[in-house]
Structure 1
Amino acid sequence: MNTKFSGHQQDAVSQDVSHDEPLSSGAEDARGLQARVAQLEKQLGDAINDGESIAKLNNRILKLEVEQATLLNSTSWRVTAPLRSVSRIAAAVRLAFSTIGRQAEVRGGLGSALGYYASVIGREGLPGVVARVRRLKSGRGFADGPPRDEVYHEWISQYDTVTPDKQREIEAEIALLARKPLISVVVPTYNSDERLLREMVASVQTQIYPHWELCIADDASTQPHVKAVLQELAAADSRIKVVFRETNGHISEASNSALALATGEYVALLDHDDLLPPHALYMVARYINLHPQGRMFYSDEDKLNTEGKRTTPYFKSDWNPQMFLTQNMFSHLGVLETRLVREAGGFRKGFEGSQDYDLALRCVELAGDDSVIHIPHVLYHWRIVPGSTAGSGSEKPYALIAAIRALEDHLKRANISATVEHPVESLGVLRVRYTLPSPQPKVSIIIPTRDGLVLLKQCLDSVFGYTLYQNFEIIIVDNGSVQPETMKYFDEISQRSNVRVLRDESPFNFSALNNHAARVATGEFLCLLNNDIEVISPDWLNEMVSLANLPRAGAVGACLWYPTDALQHGGVVLGLGGIAGHMHHMMKRGHFGYFGRAVATQNLSAVTAACLVVRKSVYDEVGGLEEDLAVAFNDVDFCMKLLKAGYRNIWTPYAEMYHHESATRGSDLDPAKYERFVSEIRRMEARWEGWFERDPAYNPNLSLSCEVRPFTLASPPRIGQFE
């Protein structure tokens, strides 16, 4: 999040040294030593709780070590063990300092991080701090990808197992449902493995929800056991309908044959070797009742390895139109209103491998985004078998080609001028590159600053030297610069026809400075830009403006890297570590993130104002940045106002910049600054009560704790097993 700009805040941390009295000589008895150790431990806890600076705490450690040396030379050391706590205290605090930066990053400042450690000391003592710090240093529990199998299996045993008692609860709930729609499970088969085929059918037959039918179309299998098994199963259960095609038409035509058998109000799409958990259709029926406007429903999913064990869960976001254009997040489990599927024309021949993606695209066009409902539970087990895309996105290159064609057709039908690209060869994530309007709309780039000439010049040089976009103006908001070299630079740079310098002598308020510039901006779009940003991708502004120009687009955020090529900003998650935190923070360049999300354009709840583009009329409509949030969270608040007004915020990985944040960040431990920071947290909590537990771009089964990375399993989840 954008909290500061360079040169404006100075480190006001004092270098005071504690004046605790030194420990007396070895004449003290063991009880006195133990009391002194307890006193020292309390002093450290109080110091942390009071938000003392790292320098002051380091001095306390040095004094502790001096006292330790005194004690080691005393006769009392040989008769008392509690004294060893002194060295443990020093070691624990030193260990805490080694990760304080990580805690500060996700908690919004050093003061907040120290306060967190203080609360841990209050509950668990120093061992609690040590345990958390060691976990942070080792990286255990951090996850930008799916959890390890043993972690996931433990999570399943606690939170995703249907016991007999839970089954009885579900049966009682089914009886109370106002609507009990018939759900037609549609399955195409071809030369299916007998064991896997029987397991698939059994997973439908053991559904707790009883109102279903299984519609199977065999696509002229050449292996005789397939027909025999299907005939046997259909004869034994009247809910199983089977049609045997005379000619092989591939998966689209076979799926249409199965669809023709369906008499249910909804159809659920299931592959011939995959499985449904026993509560899957109940959860679908429950969400149909909860969301009467819904016409399309999709769930989270996981995979089954070759041993039949669950692995690699994908906990998805709520409906995310931009991300859907990069990957088929609708499957699996995908459930659609039968009438809608038939209105869309069913499955299209020629899109085999991505026929369900093509169908979902056409259904969304008819039904609209608001009719797509996410069920945040794993309701589909996708089996990994040789040749399956469950194992690797590269297993079926024809599926990728079909997905690109389906997306291109969708864009044409929607009259959207854009091209489809496949930027990462080893990953099945697509990119839509939207065409800019002609002529290019004017963009007003707003850069607040106070001195910090080296960073400001680097920023402007990169904008002028690396930006392909032509039609922009730059408004530098000078918030009280005093250095002569800065003033000289302002005189020089303002000679450019598209640069002007606004003088604003008011006390620092990031929101007010940007609002001031926005009022005088002449561009159709605004770009809020920190002065510690360095452009590294020439088409950054083309990309951001083309996205901000889309219907219902709100704020568009960029991909910001530290100069070390570790990710600084990959989008913002509401509630992460408190108010908000960054996705994939510190991920190394070249990694893809959670199911490709670090390299996928997507809708997010918030993005940082360190680099943000928005239509000026939209900025004005929601009142710009809130000036009662002078430093922290003003960008998050702004994005949330856009969400509330019905706009969708977007993050793109294709507008890349370096963010020299460490060079511009002042101290949050100055008492006045810390008090302001806490007050802004309280203001956000009051203004947006209830918003921070359920970010629609995240998943309630994933953790919001700052002790682990985003996309780590939540324990417990923030949603009940059958909610």
Structure 2
Amino acid sequence: MGDAARDRQDWQGAITNYGLALVLAPENLPIRIQLGHALKEAGRWSEAETTYRLACAADPANSELRLHLGHVLKIQERRAEAIEAYLDALDIDPGLTLARNELISMGARDFLPSEQYGQPAMSASLARISSLLDQNLEAIREWITVSTYPAEAYHNFRSTFPVQPPPPAAVGSSLAVVIDAVDVDPDLLRLSLNSLLDQRDGNWTAVVRASASLHEHAVASYVYQDRRISFVSDGADAPWLALDSDLVLLTEAGCRLDREAVGWLRYASERTRADVIYADHDHHTYDWRRGATYSRPALHAMPDIHDQANTPDPPLCLLVRAGARPLIAAASIETAGKERRQSILLAALSTGLTVAHLPRILSSKRISDAAMSNNEPLPRSEARRVEGEERLLVIIPTRDQPDLLRSCLDSLKEKLSNPHSVDVMVIDHRSTQANTLNLLSERALSGDIEIMQVDEPFNWGRFNNLAATGQGHDILVFANNDVEFLTDGWDDVVRGSLAGEAVGVIGARLLYPDRTIQHAGIAMGVNHGRPVHEGVGADMASGGPMNRWHRSRQTSAVTGALMAVKRRVFEAVGGFDERLAIAYNDIDLCLRVREAGFRVLYEPGLEAIHHESKTRGHNVDAARVAWDDAELADMYDKWGQAMLQEPGNNPHWVAAESRTHDGYRDLSMSEVLQHLDRSALINPWAIHQRK
């Protein structure tokens, strides 16, 4: 009877009958295990844990029991104990891949022996695949998992996968390398010149802009060793601006070019005909005995003026075609080094020139050991603020939950810069609690809010469309009733972030009540093809790769828990899709805004607490899962590849479950070229083709 109840997912019936069976046969281990499974599925996790521990005591050599114990501890967010259980399972059976994969998915690779990931594990898995490929596709999935290098193993990844040569191409364009070497140590310039001399593509000339002291240093003898190299003084911009080469590669002393760098950049220029091209880079320390140790990769996204304006690590190399040469002249007046390259890149992005991103790590900047060990979190970029009279309408759907609603309304009002230009409309969806009705009545009488009564089945998109219709406000702010505003003058941040003509939607940085990150933008196609929130569970001080969770940047989508939209953009795209009643309506709106040519920004300067439980969704019934899957299927049917393409992430990054930046992988030639070609489009963030 317990088995029959289990098969029809009647967990309470299964628990009752398995419990009765154990009364009759208390030593029957399989029945006890089935009871544990039923308790877990019913959400009675503490009882399930007790049952599994009793089973483990009865069968100490059973690795799968430790695996199940780890699962129930993980569900309860008891991370340390779950890791211990999975490690116990691996101690009993080192080949238990489910336990190993759980540790990898929890970010606990450092607990694993080295043979469980990286090169040794790749080799072992490939050996198995060679004999099982035809009949065991699961082996391929296993290889993909273990071939990922964790974030902390970047040096191993970099050392294992050297940059491969570009495809064969005719060498038609002349190329001049400009090295900024003002006020630098001679050894840094020596490093850059040696890396240039080691290029596999030797069709280049080089101009070094050097301090007077370097002209008299031994490093200047490179001019006499190789006629392709020349030095100019630090005040002489004109000599290199007058270069007649087709391409100019801008970099700085201390940059070590990969031996394939010139070849790849020339190839990318010939392939895309882009005006400006940038690639990826990293940093390294150097010991004459051990060689280079690589760290701090700067893995860039598709071209994005917002991202490049506030990145802590602008591209180390920038290739500029002859047609864009005026950008160099304009940038050279006031800037030098990385500031010059950043200025040129931003000018190209703002003036509509073609900019392409080449996803190859083509250079590395030498840093000191002290700089390498500096793990101080980078500051959050300042949000643009605009004081003005643009009117905002905040729309908040609610159904009872008076305490949450009161906190939302109070924080919203207290943090305003210009209360007279912000109105609040609460959509009351069948509230019945006296405290809620009293709160709504009190706030409406005081003029704090307007109320829209909606007496129909729940539909988030429809409710918000109804509230937005016919209002004369310039900006619509959609907020959940469980949001607590943290930013002083948040209305000025909204105005400032939406001030750009090309910006249509902004989304907030959301925190859980324990001040860990709940939302830092949405990435597409991550968790088995599903969109996920970036940064989930990370400490609020964590900036993520290249400080991305602390910086304003384009993102594929943002959550409707707190988003702001220009009214004219909202109306132009037709508002929310009311067929998506519960989920994905916010993502769908963002995709339609991008399809219309506008940008969606993640704005960390707009910050709020989202009182959503971290454990939400653990005990979801089959009907809710089916509904969510059906709406997701509608999204894929509507948007096709746009649901899988993530222009905000460099393809070297590997995602795992809900973690968007879990580790690194090497790229195939086709992946490199596909990304390069797409990045060279006028707007690589636009939705170009629906399914």
Please say if 1:443 is aligned against 2:392. yes
Distance in 1 (CA, whole Å) between partners of 2:286 and 2:359 is 25
Map Cα deviations across residues 683-709 of structure 1 (whole Å, 9 max, x no partner).
Answer: 2233232234431111111122127x3
Please say if 1:155 is aligned against 2:138. no
| Aligned residue in 2 for 1:641 | 592
SS of corresponding position for 2:277: strand
Note the C-alpha offset of 1:382: 0.9
| Aligned residue in 2 for 1:473 | 423
Please say if 1:174 is aligned against 2:168. yes
Quickly say closer, same or farther: Cα 1:442–1:477, change in 2 above 3 A. same
Note the C-alpha offset of 1:518: 1.5
Note the C-alpha offset of 1:618: 0.7
For structure 1, the residue ranges without an aligned partner over 5 or more in a row are 1-11, 73-82, 105-116, 118-123, 394-424
Please say if 1:304 is aligned against 2:306. no
1:356 to 333, 337, 340: 340
Please say if 1:690 is aligned against 2:641. yes
Quickly say closer, same or farther: Cα 1:693–1:155, change in 2 above 3 A. farther
Map Cα deviations across residues 606-650 of structure 1 (whole Å, 9 max, x no partner).
Answer: 111111000111112112222222222221221111112111111
**What amino acid is aligned across from residue 521 of structure 2 in structure 1?**
G
Distance in 1 (CA, whole Å) between partners of 2:666 and 2:232 is 46
Distance in 2 (CA, whole Å) between partners of 1:232 and 1:391 is 39
Distance in 1 (CA, whole Å) between partners of 2:546 and 2:492 is 26
SS of corresponding position for 2:153: helix
Contact 2:298 2:313 in 1 (8 A): no
| Aligned residue in 2 for 1:489 | 439
| Aligned residue in 2 for 1:231 | 223
Please say if 1:455 is aligned against 2:404. yes
Quickly say closer, same or farther: Cα 1:255–1:130, change in 2 above 3 A. farther
**What amino acid is aligned across from residue 162 of structure 2 in structure 1?**
T
Note the C-alpha offset of 1:302: 0.3
1:560 to 510, 527, 533: 510
Map Cα deviations across residues 3-32 of structure 1 (whole Å, 9 max, x no partner).
Answer: xxxxxxxxx99755432473799999xxxx
SS of corresponding position for 1:462: helix
Please say if 1:319 is aligned against 2:303. yes
Greater relative contact order: 1 or 2 (C-alpha under 8 angstroms, separation 6 or more)? 1
Distance in 2 (CA, whole Å) between partners of 1:222 and 1:61 is 70
Please say if 1:274 is aligned against 2:255. yes
Please say if 1:340 is aligned against 2:329. no
| Aligned residue in 2 for 1:420 | none
SS of corresponding position for 2:256: coil
Quickly say closer, same or farther: Cα 1:254–1:203, change in 2 above 3 A. farther
2:653 to 676, 694, 702: 702
SS of corresponding position for 1:558: strand
**What amino acid is aligned across from residue 458 of structure 1 in structure 2?**
S
Matches within 5 A, 1:18-417: 18=15, 19-20=17-18, 22=21, 37=30, 52-55=41-44, 72=58, 83-84=59-60, 88-100=63-75, 127-135=96-104, 139-140=108-109, 151-158=153-160, 160-162=161-163, 166-167=164-165, 170=166, 173-175=167-169, 180-189=172-181, 196-221=188-213, 224-226=216-218, 228-235=220-227, 240-245=228-233, 249=234, 253-254=235-236, 256-260=238-242, 262-292=243-273, 294-307=274-287, 308-327=292-311, 330-342=314-326, 345-352=329-336, 355-357=339-341, 359-360=343-344, 363-364=347-348, 367-368=351-352, 371-385=354-368
**What amino acid is aligned across from residue 320 of structure 2 in structure 1?**
L
Note the C-alpha offset of 1:303: 0.8
Note the C-alpha offset of 1:460: 0.9
Quickly say closer, same or farther: Cα 1:670–1:24, change in 2 above 3 A. closer
Contact 1:549 1:615 in 2 (8 A): no
SS of corresponding position for 1:305: strand
**What amino acid is aligned across from residue 302 of structure 1 in structure 2?**
D
Quickly say closer, same or farther: Cα 1:663–1:600, change in 2 above 3 A. closer
Quickly say closer, same or farther: Cα 1:469–1:357, change in 2 above 3 A. farther
Quickly say closer, same or farther: Cα 1:299–1:361, change in 2 above 3 A. closer
Contact 2:174 2:204 in 1 (8 A): yes
SS of corresponding position for 2:445: coil
Quickly say closer, same or farther: Cα 1:431–1:391, change in 2 above 3 A. farther
Contact 2:385 2:494 in 1 (8 A): no
Contact 2:397 2:480 in 1 (8 A): yes
| Aligned residue in 1 for 2:483 | 533
Matches within 5 A, 1:484-523: 484-497=434-447, 499-523=449-473
Please say if 1:574 is aligned against 2:524. yes
Contact 2:386 2:493 in 1 (8 A): no
**What amino acid is aligned across from residue 468 of structure 1 in structure 2?**
S
Distance in 1 (CA, whole Å) between partners of 2:54 and 2:209 is 81
SS of corresponding position for 1:202: helix
Quickly say closer, same or farther: Cα 1:547–1:102, change in 2 above 3 A. farther
Contact 2:594 2:600 in 1 (8 A): yes
Distance in 1 (CA, whole Å) between partners of 2:53 and 2:315 is 60
**What amino acid is aligned across from residue 298 of structure 1 in structure 2?**
Y
Map Cα deviations across residues 74-126 of structure 1 (whole Å, 9 max, x no partner).
Answer: xxxxxxxxx5466x54442232123237799xxxxxxxxxxxx9xxxxxx999
SS of corresponding position for 2:656: coil
**What amino acid is aligned across from residue 291 of structure 1 in structure 2?**
T
**What amino acid is aligned across from residue 318 of structure 1 in structure 2?**
M
Q: TM-score, normalised by structure 2?
A: 0.78
SS of corresponding position for 2:558: coil
Contact 2:379 2:550 in 1 (8 A): no
**What amino acid is aligned across from residue 647 of structure 1 in structure 2?**
F
Contact 1:149 1:311 in 2 (8 A): no
Contact 1:256 1:347 in 2 (8 A): no
Distance in 1 (CA, whole Å) between partners of 2:588 and 2:220 is 62
Distance in 1 (CA, whole Å) between partners of 2:460 and 2:395 is 11
For structure 2, the residue ranges without an aligned partner over 5 or more in a row are 1-8, 80-85, 87-92, 112-148, 674-691
Quickly say closer, same or farther: Cα 1:363–1:457, change in 2 above 3 A. closer
Note the C-alpha offset of 1:519: 1.4
Moved more, 316-325 or 90-99: 90-99
Contact 1:53 1:669 in 2 (8 A): no
1:583 to 527, 531, 534: 534
Distance in 2 (CA, whole Å) between partners of 1:219 and 1:581 is 50
Contact 1:331 1:356 in 2 (8 A): no
Distance in 2 (CA, whole Å) between partners of 1:274 and 1:429 is 27
**What amino acid is aligned across from residue 99 of structure 2 in structure 1?**
V
- State the identity as a percent: 22
Matches within 5 A, 1:410-425: none
Distance in 2 (CA, whole Å) between partners of 1:475 and 1:66 is 55
Matches within 5 A, 1:550-699: 550-577=500-527, 578-662=529-613, 669-699=620-650
| Aligned residue in 1 for 2:498 | 548
| Aligned residue in 2 for 1:396 | none
SS of corresponding position for 1:54: coil
Map Cα deviations across residues 551-575 of structure 1 (whole Å, 9 max, x no partner).
Answer: 1112111121122111111211112
Distance in 2 (CA, whole Å) between partners of 1:618 and 1:314 is 34
Quickly say closer, same or farther: Cα 1:718–1:526, change in 2 above 3 A. farther
Quickly say closer, same or farther: Cα 1:654–1:41, change in 2 above 3 A. same
Contact 2:556 2:591 in 1 (8 A): yes
Distance in 2 (CA, whole Å) between partners of 1:63 and 1:362 is 61
**What amino acid is aligned across from residue 381 of structure 1 in structure 2?**
S
Quickly say closer, same or farther: Cα 1:434–1:66, change in 2 above 3 A. closer
SS of corresponding position for 2:663: coil
